Amino acid sequence: MHQISPVPFYMLAGPLGTGKTTLLLRLLEYWKKQGRTVGVVMNESGQVSIDGPRAGAVAGQVVNLAGGCVCCDTKDDLAWGIGQLITDFRSDLIVLECSGMANPAEVIDAVTDAFVSRMVTLRQTIALVQPTADPEQAYSDPVIAHSLRCADDIILNKRDLFLSTMWDASAKAIVARNPYARLWEASHARLDPDELLRTRERSPLHQPSPNVTVDAHPPSTQSKTRAAYHPLVMTVRLPGPVNRRKFLDWMDRLPIGLERAKGFLRFTDDPSLQEFQYAPPGVSQVEPLHLLDEPPHAVVLIGRNYDQEACRTALLGCAESPAPERAAD
């Protein structure tokens, strides 16, 4: 049997709302112009894939690992998704966009094991973060700390939204946490792909961490315990079109503890599909979107320390038809 050479594997990591999907779409356009057959593994924490349809409009093929984060809930499916992209769709390059809750160290461990490494070669881990008023505290968050520690390249994104003093302090804190990575500064994840993807020798810092425990049990018995730092994720499926005025009012009253929100919907007074996006510190947005495949109408809410049920009830109150029974997340 002919042995297939491993294909390059790229990973995009970082917390919620830092611009990973924006960067992914830019890279997909770049690879498309090069004639590459790119397979995308899209990991999203909600039960419905929101970013997958957008990537699917550019990529050769998208495998959606929705309903959890790739380092724990859907880790078992990662090898299957990679295998499908290579054997069924002949992908010659694969890129993974991690959930904003994922630990990249565990993903690195997964793609460098004896089985998966026969299919892919980890080429580059790219982390995206945004500035913060208190980088020492914010970058100590487990999601951000893991992303910074494992990255070959770190993109400090959204420069257009922050003061220079906050930006400089954040850049200094990043370098202190990972002096081996290349640090990029950008707005809207706008970078030169040729420069960003220029590879170099991986340092020992970027090898699988000795502190990562590999579960040797078969998939059916692996633990699904969620890491303590993971925010709460709720997928709200919309039963029909929503009232525009009510939905805009709901957008204006999003709770402070909400870290990310996104989804697809339709308004009762407009036949166009709408995409909803919210990521602090920016304002929430809803804009028309054209996709070949109609995605499910749903909103994914991700955050900590806020009244989930009240937020869900208010959202469903915008719908023009009765809400269905709630499905467990």
Q: What is the pLDDT of residues 80-130, one digit of tens each?
A: 889 989 998 899 999 999 877 778 877 887 787 667 878 998 889 999 999
Q: Are 157 and 18 in contact (CB under 8 A)?
A: yes
On whether residue 327 sits in a domain, the answer given is: no
Instruction: Indicate whether 141 and 287 sit together in one domain.
Output: no
CA distance 198 to 11: 14
Residues in CB range of 61: below 8 A, 6 or more apart: 39, 40, 85, 89, 91
Token pair belonging to 108: 């690195």
CA distance 278 to 92: 33
pLDDT of residue 44: 59
pLDDT of residue 15: 87
Could you give the 3-state DSSP secondary structure of residue 261? Answer: strand
pLDDT of residue 259: 77
pLDDT of residue 208: 35
* Residues 165-208: tens digit of each pLDDT: 888 999 999 999 998 889 999 999 999 999 999 866 544 434 43
Residues in CB range of 236: below 8 A, 6 or more apart: 263, 298, 299, 300, 301, 312, 315, 316
The CATH number linked to 303 is 3.30.1220.10
pLDDT of residue 30: 95
Instruction: Indicate whether 142 and 261 sit together in one domain.
Output: no
24-31 long-range contacts, CB within 8 A, separation 24+: 24/51, 24/55, 24/95, 24/97, 25/54, 25/55, 25/58, 26/189, 26/190, 26/191, 26/193, 27/95, 27/193, 27/197, 28/55, 28/58, 28/59, 28/95, 29/58, 30/193, 31/93
Q: Are 214 and 109 in contact (CB under 8 A)?
A: yes
pLDDT of residue 149: 87
On whether residue 326 sits in a domain, the answer given is: no
Instruction: Indicate whether 12 and 136 sit together in one domain.
Output: yes
Closest CA to 219 of 75, 96, 31, 112: 75
Residues in CB range of 179: below 8 A, 6 or more apart: none
DSSP β-ladder status, 7-13 and 93-97: parallel
On whether residue 120 sits in a domain, the answer given is: yes
pLDDT of residue 107: 81
The values of phi and psi at residue 252, to 5°, are -70, -15
Q: Are 100 and 302 in contact (CB under 8 A)?
A: yes
Q: Dihedral of CA 204/205/206/209: which sign?
A: positive
On whether residue 50 sits in a domain, the answer given is: yes
Instruction: Indicate whether 216 and 305 sit together in one domain.
Output: no
Closest CA to 206 of 101, 71, 105: 105
Residue ranges of the chain with pLDDT lower than 70? 1-4, 44-60, 64-76, 113-114, 199-233, 304, 321-329
The CATH number linked to 70 is 3.40.50.300
Instruction: Indicate whether 175 and 266 sit together in one domain.
Output: no
Domain count, the chain: 2
Instruction: Indicate whether 115 and 237 sit together in one domain.
Output: no
pLDDT of residue 64: 67
Of the residues 200, 221, 242, the one at which a domain ends: 221
Encoded amino acid at 303, one letter: G
Supply the range of the domain harboring residue 43.
7-221
pLDDT of residue 54: 52
pTM above 0.85, yes or no: no
Instruction: Indicate whether 139 and 244 sit together in one domain.
Output: no
pLDDT of residue 228: 45
Token pair belonging to 237: 């499926």
Instruction: Indicate whether 211 and 237 sit together in one domain.
Output: no
pLDDT of residue 99: 78
DSSP H helices, the chain, are 20-33, 52-56, 75-87, 104-111, 135-138, 142-150, 164-177, 193-196, 244-252, 308-316
